[in-house]
Structure formats: C-alpha cells, structure tokens
Structure 1
Amino acid sequence: MFLAGVSAATKAFTGAVAGEILSSIKEMVAVVMESSSSSPSLHIPELPKKPVDLDDRVEELKKKLFKENISKVGISAMGGSGKTILAAALCKDPQVIEHFGNNIIFQTVSQSPNILGILESMWERITEEEPDPEFHSIEDAHTRLQQWLYNRQPRNWFRMKKPENILVVLDDVWPEVNLRALLFEAEGYKTVVMSRHSVEGVDDAYELPLLGEEDALSLFRFWAFGEQCIPDGISDTLVKQVAAECQGLPLALEVIGCSLMNEPLEYWEWTHSKLSQGEPISKNHEALLKHLAMSTERLDNDMKKCFLDLGLFLDKNQISVAVLLDIWTYVHNIKPIRAYKILRELENRKLLNLINDLPGDHPYTYYGSNTELCIVQHDVLRSLAIYLAANEQTGNICKRLRLFPNSWKAHSDENINAEIVSIHNTGSMNEKLWSEVEFPEARALVLIFSENECFLPAFLQTMSKLKVLIIINQNSITTKLEGMLAFKSLAQLRSLRLEKLIVPPLGDYIQYLKKLQKLSLSLCKGDKGSLDIEVCSKLIGLVEISIDHCLDIKELPANVCNLPSLERLTITNCHDLQKLPDNLQELAGSLKMLMLAACPALKELPASICDLNKLEFLDISQCQCIQTLPHEFGKLQGLKYLYMRECQKLRSLPNTATGLRSLKFVICDKQLKTQWSGVKQSIPNLSLDIAEVKFSLGWLDR
C-alpha cells in the first residue's frame, strides 16, 4: 500500500527527517481519503478478458474526437451494448494517450448523481496543484472550474505555450441529469458523453451498433463454454439459435451464456423456447429485462433473494461485500460460509463482478473478514434485480423498498410491509424529513446520503424488528451524525455499520443494542478530536468489531477486552493507532482473529497477546514500526495463519516461535526468510510465502 512504498524511500534519511516525511505523508493520505474515498470514481475501467474486436469502432470514434471544431462527442446505445467498454478502449488507445497524456478522466454519472460531488472530483483531478475550494452550489463549482480552464489559455504573446489537452469521459448519463453542469469549453478540452439516449448539447454523435452475427456467436461461445469445445449432446445449431436470440447485445450474450454453462440439453432447449417467445430486446428496456430474467431461472431460493437485494443500492457504486453478507446473514438467516458461496456463484454467472478479489480458499473468507472486498454491477443487471423484485410483490406486500425523497408518498401503502428498506437522499437529512414515513416490519435499513448533515430518522423508534442498520455518507466531507438516541428502540439490532461520519462517544448509545453482534466503522471520526469507541461490557453477544480508515483513533480502549463473545477484531488502515490494551488476555476464551494491517504508528504488540490461546489468525502486515514480537509468542498454540508482510523493522523472531505447532501459513518479508525456514524444521506442515513490496495508489479510488 501507499505508506509501505514511502517507508522504504525514507531509509536514506536520518530518523528525524524520515519521521517528518512519514508524518507529512500520513497527513496527505488523510486529506486524500477525506476528499476522494466516497466521491465518484475517476478510474478507467479494465477491459474484459474476452472483448470483441473494438479497433474499427475506436478508430471511428477517434476521427470524430480529433476534429478541430469538435469538443463534445455523444455515444448512444441501449443498456448492455458495451458503451463503457468502448470508452475504456478509447482511453487506453496509444494515440489517445499520446495526445492527452495523464489528463484522461473517466467519470461515472448514473441516474441519480451527486453533481456537486462529481464537480469536486473533477476539480481535484483537473487542477491538480490548486487548493480544493469549498463550493457553495453546483453553479458556483461550474463557474469556478470554467474560469480556471479559461485562465490557463494563452491570451497574448507573453503566453504562447498551449495548455495541456484534457479528455473527460462522462459515462452512464441519463436524460434527467443536468448535463450542462458537467460540460466545459476550453482549448484542448474534449468531452465524451455516453448515454442510453440521444445526447443533446454535443457537437457530434456516434450510435454504437450491436454486434454482428460472427462476433456475437464468438462471444456467446466463450461465456457458455470457455475455451472448451461444444460438449456432446448440444448441437451447433442450437447454440447458434440461442445466441441469435441475444440479438447481438454483449451483456445478454455474457449473462445468458454463463447461465447455460454446464447445463443439460433440456435446459438449453427450454431457454431457447422462452427467449424465442419474447419480444425483441431492441424494442424496449423491459423486453431486455425479460430476456435477462432467463439467467436467474436456475437460482435456488437463497440465491434469488441475494440477487434481488443488489437492487437496493445505487447504480455503478461499489458495494461492500461485508454489507451484503450482513443482510444475507441476519435478515435471510443464511450461514456466512453459504452466503459467501452464493456471492461466488452470482459472480460465476456474471450477475455481479468482484473487486479486490481473493482466492476462494483464502483464510479471510473463512474468518469472515471482507474489509477490502467490494462488488460492482452493470446498471442493467441492477435494473433486472429491481424488476424481478417488483414482479415478486403481492398486493401491498413489498419485501424490498428502494426510495428517493420524491417517491415516499407514492409508496406509502407499501412502506408498512417492507422488510428491507434502502433510502437514497441527495438532499438534507434533517429532523423534519421523516415525519410521514414508518417501516415497522423492516429487518434491514440502508441510509445513503450526500449532504453536510445527517439526523437519524424518527421512524427508527418504531423499527423494533430491525436487525441491520447501515448508514453511508457519500459526501466529499465527513458529516456529523445526530439523533443517536433513536438507538434505544433497536433492541433486536444485530449489525451496525457507519461510514464517513463524525460520531459522538459510542458507548453512550450502543449500550442499548443488547443483541448487537457486529460493529463496523469506516472513515469515521470522533466529535471530540479522536474517535471514542468505548464499548459497553453489557454487549455480551458482540462477536465482531471492524474499524477501517479511521485516521484519528490513537488507542484501543481496555474495556473492549471485557466483551466475552468477541471472536474477530479488525483494525486496518488506522494510521494513528499507537497502542493496544495490555489486558488482551481477557479475550483468551473467544478471540480467533486479530487484524492490525496498515497501522504504521503501532510500535509493539502487548505481551498479553501471547495468552490468546484460541487465536487462529493474526495479521500485522504494513505495521512498519513493530521491531520485535513478544518473547512468549510461541504460546499461541492455536495460531494457524500469520501475515507479516512489509514489516521492515521486524528483523528477528523470538526463540519460542518453534512452539507454534498449529501454524499452517506464514507470509513475511525477505529479511525473515532464513529465520522462518529454520522454524519450519520444527513445524513440517508450515507453508512459507515471501511477500513482494507493492507500491500502489489504487486503493484511493475505492
């Protein structure tokens, strides 16, 4: 990660200078995390492993883009046609890269965008060295960025050098979006707009055609059979017939092809029959969804529920796997291992895509740690989940409800029966907002907002059956959470997740959550200078605490060790964490997993960690200040997995390490290879892996 690469560079300096540099880097990371962690992504998507030949289409698009009198080009086609892939191929074309250099910005807009947040992200990327101003409105942001672009242009003979060329790609733009706010005029500045609909306000347009018969069949065969030949019993004619029903639409070829992989002849014939009876997918969006619905016919009940839940979230946004697994576990009563297998099966069927993926047998999977793992989903597949959920509705019994402020009254009859509620609010989350809304039957509530205030809704006091509460701030700055006294009514809550919020001392409020099993904090701050996570010892059922990217937490309170059921404690990317409690031995009867990855200020592990006789997984990767392990480290008789990569100052192992008889896997740096090889002689079944130091800023796009 970022700090690991920096740490290696500081070795050439004295300790004092290196410390100052590391401190500055930490401050810089904090600023970047504040501004970019929840803002829309500027990352160019990866090209798929089996794309069709895009060269001719890219060349045609380049001809339009490089015309002198053209600054804005629109690409239109129905959903699932490959617009995003074409734009990504354009951005990665050598001629385009040569012309625009590093000034290529790929910005997803979506149907309900935070326009101000997008403009803030564009300002940060385009101006680079300029300070990030506080914009008062969309109009203010547009005016300032347009002025900045104008000021960089040469206006007299003193400024003859041309400004750098800039390419901005706006993906997934809907007609109702204020596109004009995202368009700018300047020398060398070009914009490509992608939409399902014809784009207004552009200089030239390109309508992306569907695939021809040969390309479509090739793509379909790849997804249905991989690199293998067509199996016996399924005729080439039938394969061509099913592929033809996808009508050249890449997404349909992929999803339906994957759904038929390893299926018997009878299912192929049934699929062909159903597809041939349907309306052509080019006619309208609903016809496309009906075709794609065929790919879900073989999902069992649990898998179908899990797929429908994906419709609860915003289009094109990354979804934390941990959030999904909480809903599947606590609402649908699916066991965690089974829930993870469902996630994998949905990925195999191309109904979602995993980001930051791990091997299926990775220990993180077994111990339930999914801090880094996210999914993305094509907006058409998200629409499919919403479409199928709506068709599942009987009368006014709606199991899943996805609401925007202007639709609350229209759904008032459905509110009372909804089991899973997702509310997306781009406006203010003030106290008056919730006066007419109630969800007494809800088991899960997802609140997603992007404003400067968040007041918890009064209707929480009527949600006595709520088991999962997720509050996500997508604003560019951290927002204070108000109204937490509503927690008094959530006696059945099992999982609480807070993202990018300023929170008061938690102990004052979560003491009411008597059945809480999981507490997750991401990108949170304390309202009194540092994050206070004092946890009430009355929470006897709390199994997991996860703290990620909470930059102002300095030490873990001792009373965390008074939780009798705590099995998993995860503290990652907390750059100011300096100390763990000395009484860790009080968790000896329960703690199985301890993750302390990327905590560069942590200097040592307390001796009491050696008394955690049930500990099976320990990760201290990227804890650059740890120099030694406790002398009695070998007492960890239950330890199976030890991750200690990029711990540059840790150069020796205690002699007791040979006592780690249950140890199966160690990943470490080169300087410890010889010592671990010696330990391996006493532990024959030990597998040793030497880590490669990686330098990456990719995590900032998440």
Structure 2
Amino acid sequence: MAVELVGGAALGAIVGELLKVVVEAKDKILMFRSILKHIEETLQSIIPILKEIEELNKALDRRDEQTARLLEVIEQGKTIVLDCSSIRFLNLPKKYKYTNKLQELDKSLTSFFQIVMQAQIARDTKEVLKVVRGKNWSFRGKIGGGGGGSGMMMMIPGAPVNPVGLEVPLRELKMELFKDGVSVVVLSAPPGCGKTTLAKLLCHDRQVTEKFKDNIFYVTVSKTNTLEGIVRRIFEHKGYRVSEFRGEEDVINRLEQFLKDIEPDPTLLVLDDVWPGSESLLEKLKLQITDYKILVTSRSSFPRFGSAFKLQPLNYDDSMTLFRHSAFFPDQSQSQSCIPEEHVIKIVKGCKGFPLALEVVGGSLRGQPAEIWETREKEFSRSGSILQYSDLVSSLQGSLDALDKHGIVKQCFMDLCSFPEDQRIPVTALIDMWAELYNLDGDVYAVANLHELSNRNLVDVITLREDTSGCYHQQFVMQHDLLRELAIHQINAQSAEYRKRLVVEISGNKVPDWWVKQKHLISAQLLSISTDETFSSTWCRINVPEVEVVILNFRSKNYTLPDFIKEAKKLKVMIVINYGFFPTELGNFALLGSLSNLKRIRLEHVTIPSYGFTSAQFKNLQKMTMVMCNIGQAFSTSSIQVTEALPNLEEINFDYCSDIVELPVEVCHLRKLKKLNVTNCHKLVSLPRKIKELVNLEVLRLGSCVELKELPSTIGKLSNLSILDISECLELDRLPEEIGELQNLSKLHMVSCSDDFKLPSSISELKNLKEVICDEATACLWEPFGQLLKNLRIKVHAEQINLNWLNKRSL
C-alpha cells in the first residue's frame, strides 16, 4: 500500500502535507520556532530532488521501493509536529524531549534525501542512459560540492519581487514565444531597461512553466562565454557533469542528442545578456528540434533571426512608482520628506524611463536634503555623452558623482570592475584589497562601505546564510553590467600609464595596443587581468612598479603566473580566481616568494603545486585564503621548512577544500598563527594533536566540517584561544574535558551540532566565557551551568538561508 501511495506526482504531495503542518506549527509554537523553521527549509530544498526522482521513475516506468520509506518518515513527522502544539511552555522535560524528536526528524529527512535518494537517482540515471540509444555522454555522475563552488547545479533565477510596468511586455513576449514556426526570439533594449528582469518573469510565468515544465534552461552569457561553456551549463542544470568535449562538433552533437532525449516535453533555452556580434554562437545553438525555443536578451537586435521584441522604457506613471519606491523610505510619504514635487517630476523625466537609472538615482537621493535634490535636478539639464546610451549614462553619472564627498566609498565602487561581469565578488576578497589600498583597520569598515553602496542601489550585497561567527565568507557582491561599464569608462579616460587602476580583458592572446607599445612606467596601484578559455599563458612584459594589488581572473585549463609580477616590488595583495569548470594547477607558483612585501594571497578553484608554500620564502605573508582549492602536499617540507617559508603568517582560511581529510600537520608549526578557519571542508575528519603548538592562536573556526568526529585533547593547550566555532559539525558529539583549560575563551559558536551532543563538566571552569551562540536544543544543555558562569549569555540563533544566490554566480 505504501508503495502505491508514494510515487509519481504523489511524492511532492506527501512532502507538501508535512510542509503545511510545519509552517502552521512554526507560526503558533514559539518555543520550537527555530527548529521548525529549519525543517521547513529542509523540506523546501528537497522539492527539486523529488522532481528528479519522479522524472527517473517515469523514464524507467516503475516505482521504487525506497520511496515507501519516505511515507514512514513523513507520517512520523506529522505526528511529532502535531504533538508539539500540546506542550506547555514551562514543561521543560517534554520541551527537551520534543526538541530532540524534531531534530531527529530534520536529520532523518536530510539523511534520506542526501544519501538514500541520491543513491537511487545515481543508479536510476545509469539505467536511463543504458536504454537510450545512440548515446555519447560519458557523464560522471551527480554534481556535488558546496555553496558558491563550481560543483553546484545552475538553477533558474528567482522571480523578481514586485516588478513595475512589465505586465504588458510579459504578455506580448509570451505570445511571440508561443508562435508556431518561431524558434528564436530576441528581446532587445538598451542596458538598464529591464531585459533580464522580464526574462526572469517569463521563466516563472504559469503558462510558461506549464508548457516547458522542467526543461527551462537559463544561462547568463558573459562576453567571454564559449559554446562549450554554455552547453556545460545546460547539462549541469539537469545535474550532470559531462566529460571533456572533442571539439565544437562534438559539443553540438551532444547538445542535439540531449535535447532529443528530453522530448516530447518542449524546451526553452534562455540566453541572458548576449553580446553584440554573437550571431555565429546563436546559429550553432539553433537546432532543428521540435518545440525547442531560444529566448535571447541583448542590446543588439540580431536581425538575422527576425524582428526583435523591443522592450521600451517605462511610461511616466510606472517611472514615478519605481522612483518613489527607491527614493523614499517605506513609511515616508513625499510630503513628509519636504521634497518639492517639481524636483521629483524633473528627475523622473530625466531618467528617461530606464528602470536601472530610476532605482540608482532614487537610491542615491533617499534621505538627502532638498538642496541635494535641487542640485541633481540641475545636473539632469546638462548635455553630454560618455557611452553609447547617453540618456541612461547621464542619469547614472550624477549618482556616481554624489560619491565624491565619500572618497573611499567611491574608490571602492570603482574597484569592483576589477572582477568579471556577471560574477559574484567575494566580500572577503574586497576586504583584503581595501585593507591594503586604503589602510582600512578592520573588516567592518570595508563591509560598511559596501552597505553604503548597496543603499544607493549601486551594488547588490548577497548573504548566502547569516554568519554568527563574525566573518564574511558567506557574503558576496554583484554589480550591474552597465555600472561596471561606467566605472571602466571613467578609468579609461586617462592614458594607461597614468591610471590608478588598470583593468585589462584579454581575448585569446590579443593584448591591448597600448600594452604592446608601452614606453613609460605604469603607475597603477591596482592591476586586474581577465583572460578567457583560449588564453595560452603567453605573457607580454609590463612594468608596474607601483602596483599594490593584482587580480588575475581566468578560465583556461592551464595557467601560468606572469613573470613580470616579480618586478612588482610593492605588491601586497595577490588574488587568483579560476572561473572555469575544473581546478587548474598554477604554473610558476614559486615566483610569489620573490615578492618581499606580499601580505595577502587569495586562491580560488586551483590546484596548488606540491611544496607550493615551501618552495620559496614568503617573508611578510600574513594571510592566505584558499577557496575550492586542492591543497595536496602544498605545505609539505621541501628544501625549506614551513616555519622558514612562512615566518610571519597570522591567518589561514580553508573554505570548501574537498581534499582535506586531516589538517596538514605542517600548519601546526606556524607559531605566529592567530586565526585558523577551516570551513565547509566536508571530508575533514580530524585535527592533529600537534595543534597544541599554535600557542598564539586566538580564533579557530571549524564551521560546517560535517565529518569532523572529535577535537583533540591537546586543544586545551591553546591558552590564547578566544573564539571557537564548531557550528554544523554534525558528527562532533562532545567537547574534550580539556576544554576547561581555555581560560581566555570568550565566545563559543555551536549552532546545529550533533543531536547527541554532551558538554563536559569542565565547562564550569571557563570563567571568561561571555557568549555562546547555539540553537534552541543546545541551549538546554547550558542551563545547568547558568549559576556557575555568571557572565555568560546564551544567544539562540534562528537559522536563515538564502537560496536566491544560485542565479548570481556563473558556474
């Protein structure tokens, strides 16, 4: 009976029943709100997995016995949640008992869908591939990985919230897309008109989702995207990592076979922000497949594909609505703000109906005195053009000029163009840059500048999930393409040798003419070089004696650090980010050791060569960050001991480094280390006993190391440790008795630890412990220590996870 109830569309319905019960209970039962919120998010996150299971079961024409187990978990869960409503607030034994039951339910759901059902998907996928004839896929299985990494599946962006003035264009665009015989629809408009917003609305429209179902693929096409990159993103949307292609013809053949295999359901491919001159790319993606549609958003109309759908600027009424939303606080009317109506009217008209201009200009004026409004109004009467779309740029320019009195904030805005378009910019990378460029003492100043830019609608600050530990590795920034262009245009107004920032984009191996012809020293403090998949690491020489920050953005499978960096004697910050699909080993790595002033290194998605950090002396290096990197033997001793190679290192960050099973023991020899952050390293099982040698360590973060089983007893020797974070270390069920020796420990983070977690009696010795951040269930464990630790404050953390970032990062 259970198997009959579970399967097909019933899977989603069953989970929906539990979700409904959880949502209702969460709003009524305050004492369990935190854990119920977490269960709600767990249930919402598994819905895509359910859809995939349904597709596979349909393809195999069967129902799997594993899904019968799901019914049992759901039914038990409903009973537990409903029983919670009858518990009185002061009934602590029952409260503790049902807290544990709810946590066990959440753990069961997570385990079931991460292990049991993923195994079923992997097995069923192989069976599907076996029965489909003419395959040439060579898939490597389901994609895993952590937040922000190239291992995540690309998803359709979230629906825009309260879009203004797009109801009619949406209806007309749908009619164009649904026409028989139309395979490519080009949505064209100047930048800042809302093309991307309209495309996202379309993807979430009921009629569109009913027609195309799960076969809607959304790819943001940057200037450097290739056919192979786009096709890989299409495959990843379905959850598969495809093996190497054997050339362009192979790419097209596999895409054609893929689209035929997902018939008879229609397919919609959305290519957002396609650059002018990309006709040949679109031609290759235009295949003779039944009910296969392509929607292109671009500044270009691409007449080869028929008449483009032209998105017009907003009319006056809609412009006024959008502007008021940005320019005035939610609880503030215009009359309360004392801003004359004529100022508002003239500024709105000056924005020419461009949504981006209305939002940016409105945001820059929010809370400003009437004199600033009047000044902006007069600026709108000036003529002049600095980019192709003069009306829009003149609207935005005033907002940028308004930053002049906030000197560093404007400089921070200009620095953002050092990163590729349409990519999430890590806040921690910006902190490293700005600490050295502008002597910002403390991370909070850099973050405050970002929020100032966000308040003016010049950037979007994205928080993947709230971080209680005081670091910012879960925060990112996005900059609109046009605002990035505006910054680059201003930078390029000067000749190359006098620019404060040098932002270089190399296509293939073609460098700018000024680079080849350079005769003078380059005075830039910041150098950013972006290269595409075809770059061969053949570097021309450039003399940058004043540069303090170098950012290298690349996509190629092989990459060598440029020799000219050796001459950058003032270099303080080196950031190397690989945006490709596979980790790339860095060539010429040892040259970094020749930079005597280098203080900070950030590496993303690269394989660090063996003995990479012991092949040279990094005399003044203070901080290194490695994200999604293969560490391997990077710290192993070669000709130089690690203590000699990194004599002044104070901070190490490992984030999503999947090959770390045990922390490299060599790290424990770095006596000056003050901060050690090992986060989201899902294979980390243990810490070496020699961690006791880090006598100056003040901060130890181990967040989301889900396989970490124990802390060594020698941790008690870390006499200077003040912050310890073990949040989401799900296998860690106790603290060692020696934890009581940490007399300087002032803050302990332990949100979402093991359900069986136990506190040792030595906790009572932590006289300087001032704050414990934990979940509601763990808070109960601290109650017996309340009388012994008079200065202790227990802070119950309500977890909040933001999944909207998935559409922000090109994977």
Flag whether TM exceeds 0.5 (same fold): yes
Tell whether 2:497 aligns with 1:390.
no
Aligned residues of 1:444 and 1:467 also touching (Cα < 8 A): yes
Tell whether 2:319 aligns with 1:216.
yes
Q: Name whichever of 70-79 and 288-297 sits farther off.
A: 288-297
Secondary structure of 1:434's counterpart equals coil
What does residue 192 of structure 2 align with?
A: 80
Q: Name whichever of 257-266 and 138-147 sits farther off.
A: 138-147
What does residue 424 of structure 2 align with?
A: 318
CA deviation vs aligned residue, 1:400-424 (integer Å, no higher than 9, x gap): 1121332333335377222211111
What does residue 167 of structure 2 align with?
A: 55
Aligned residues of 2:434 and 2:446 also touching (Cα < 8 A): yes
Q: Percent identity?
A: 34
Tell whether 2:438 aligns with 1:332.
yes
Query: Which among 547, 554, 571 is matched to residue 442 of structure 1?
Result: 547
5 Å-filtered alignment, 1:190-589, equals 190-202=293-305, 205-227=308-330, 228-230=332-334, 231-279=336-384, 284-299=388-403, 300-336=406-442, 337-356=444-463, 364-365=469-470, 369-391=471-493, 393=494, 396-405=497-506, 406-412=510-516, 413=518, 416-428=522-534, 430=536, 433-506=538-611, 508-509=613-614, 511-526=616-631, 532=635, 536-538=642-644, 539-589=646-696
CA deviation vs aligned residue, 1:335-389 (integer Å, no higher than 9, x gap): 2332221111111111111112677xx6544xxx222211111101111221222
When residues 693 and 381 of structure 1 are mapped into structure 2, their CA distance, relative to the original with a 3 A threshold, is closer
Secondary structure of 2:229's counterpart equals helix
Query: What amino acid is the match of 1:441?
Result: E
**Counterparts of 1:519 and 1:266, CA distance in 2:** 47
Query: What amino acid is the match of 2:398?
Result: M
CA deviation vs aligned residue, 1:235-276 (integer Å, no higher than 9, x gap): 122111111111111100111111111111111111110111
**Counterparts of 2:416 and 2:586, CA distance in 1:** 26
Structure 1 residue 507 displacement after superposition = 5.3
Q: Name whichever of 197-206 and 237-246 sits farther off.
A: 197-206
When residues 467 and 287 of structure 1 are mapped into structure 2, their CA distance, relative to the original with a 3 A threshold, is farther
Query: Which among 118, 135, 147 is matched to residue 245 of structure 2?
Result: 135
Aligned residues of 1:39 and 1:475 also touching (Cα < 8 A): no
Aligned residues of 2:154 and 2:806 also touching (Cα < 8 A): no
Aligned residues of 2:613 and 2:635 also touching (Cα < 8 A): no
Aligned residues of 1:652 and 1:672 also touching (Cα < 8 A): no
CA deviation vs aligned residue, 1:173-193 (integer Å, no higher than 9, x gap): 111333333433322322110
Query: Which among 722, 736, 743 is matched to residue 630 of structure 1?
Result: 736
What does residue 100 of structure 1 align with?
A: 212
Query: What amino acid is the match of 2:576?
Result: I
Aligned residues of 2:269 and 2:293 also touching (Cα < 8 A): yes
Structure 1 residue 445 displacement after superposition = 1.2
Aligned residues of 2:515 and 2:542 also touching (Cα < 8 A): no
CA deviation vs aligned residue, 1:189-212 (integer Å, no higher than 9, x gap): 221100112134435531111111
**Counterparts of 2:270 and 2:731, CA distance in 1:** 42
Structure 1 residue 75 displacement after superposition = 0.5
Q: Name whichever of 264-273 and 658-667 sits farther off.
A: 658-667
Query: Which among 179, 188, 191 is matched to residue 282 of structure 2?
Result: 179
**Counterparts of 1:241 and 1:379, CA distance in 2:** 26
Aligned residues of 1:35 and 1:477 also touching (Cα < 8 A): no
Secondary structure of 2:243's counterpart equals coil
**Counterparts of 2:547 and 2:807, CA distance in 1:** 34
Query: What amino acid is the match of 1:98?
Result: E
What does residue 749 of structure 2 align with?
A: 643
**Counterparts of 1:547 and 1:423, CA distance in 2:** 25
Aligned residues of 1:625 and 1:649 also touching (Cα < 8 A): no
When residues 606 and 134 of structure 1 are mapped into structure 2, their CA distance, relative to the original with a 3 A threshold, is same
**Counterparts of 1:445 and 1:672, CA distance in 2:** 44
When residues 537 and 487 of structure 1 are mapped into structure 2, their CA distance, relative to the original with a 3 A threshold, is same
Alpha carbon RMSD of aligned pairs, Å?
3.4
Structure 1 residue 36 displacement after superposition = 8.9
CA deviation vs aligned residue, 1:535-556 (integer Å, no higher than 9, x gap): 8223333221111111111212
Secondary structure of 2:155's counterpart equals coil
Structure 1 residue 692 displacement after superposition = 5.5
What does residue 254 of structure 2 align with?
A: 144
When residues 679 and 21 of structure 1 are mapped into structure 2, their CA distance, relative to the original with a 3 A threshold, is farther
**Counterparts of 1:267 and 1:9, CA distance in 2:** 55
Q: Name whichever of 230-239 and 191-200 sits farther off.
A: 230-239
Secondary structure of 1:480's counterpart equals strand
What does residue 606 of structure 1 align with?
A: 712
Tell whether 2:127 aligns with 1:44.
no
Secondary structure of 1:269's counterpart equals helix
Aligned residues of 1:507 and 1:536 also touching (Cα < 8 A): no
Structure 1 residue 125 displacement after superposition = 2.5
Tell whether 2:761 aligns with 1:655.
yes
**Counterparts of 2:373 and 2:780, CA distance in 1:** 56
Query: What amino acid is the match of 2:617?
Result: Y
Structure 1 residue 436 displacement after superposition = 3.5
Query: What amino acid is the match of 1:8?
Result: S
Structure 1 residue 509 displacement after superposition = 4.3
When residues 400 and 323 of structure 1 are mapped into structure 2, their CA distance, relative to the original with a 3 A threshold, is same
CA deviation vs aligned residue, 1:574-613 (integer Å, no higher than 9, x gap): 1221221223333343x23211122222110112223334
**Counterparts of 2:395 and 2:665, CA distance in 1:** 56
**Counterparts of 2:681 and 2:142, CA distance in 1:** 10
Equivalent residue pairs, number: 675
Query: What amino acid is the match of 1:331?
Result: L
Instruction: Please state which structure has a larger fraction of its residues in helix.
Output: 2
Tell whether 2:233 aligns with 1:121.
yes
Aligned residues of 1:646 and 1:691 also touching (Cα < 8 A): no
Query: What amino acid is the match of 2:452?
Result: E
Tell whether 2:266 aligns with 1:165.
yes
Structure 1 residue 277 displacement after superposition = 1.3
Structure 1 residue 622 displacement after superposition = 2.2
Q: Name whichever of 63-72 and 513-522 sits farther off.
A: 63-72
Structure 1 residue 91 displacement after superposition = 0.9
**Counterparts of 2:465 and 2:236, CA distance in 1:** 31
Secondary structure of 1:537's counterpart equals helix
Q: Name whichever of 244-253 and 201-210 sits farther off.
A: 201-210
CA deviation vs aligned residue, 1:60-96 (integer Å, no higher than 9, x gap): 1111112222222110111011111111111111221
Structure 1 residue 624 displacement after superposition = 1.8
Aligned residues of 2:423 and 2:808 also touching (Cα < 8 A): no
Query: What amino acid is the match of 2:573?
Result: V
5 Å-filtered alignment, 1:644-683, equals 644-681=750-787, 682-683=789-790
Mark the runs of 5 or more structure 1 residues left unpaired by the alignment.
154-162
CA deviation vs aligned residue, 1:546-576 (integer Å, no higher than 9, x gap): 1111111121233323334322211112122
Structure 1 residue 397 displacement after superposition = 0.6
Query: What amino acid is the match of 1:191?
Result: I
Aligned residues of 2:574 and 2:600 also touching (Cα < 8 A): yes
Query: What amino acid is the match of 2:643?
Result: S
**Counterparts of 1:620 and 1:487, CA distance in 2:** 33
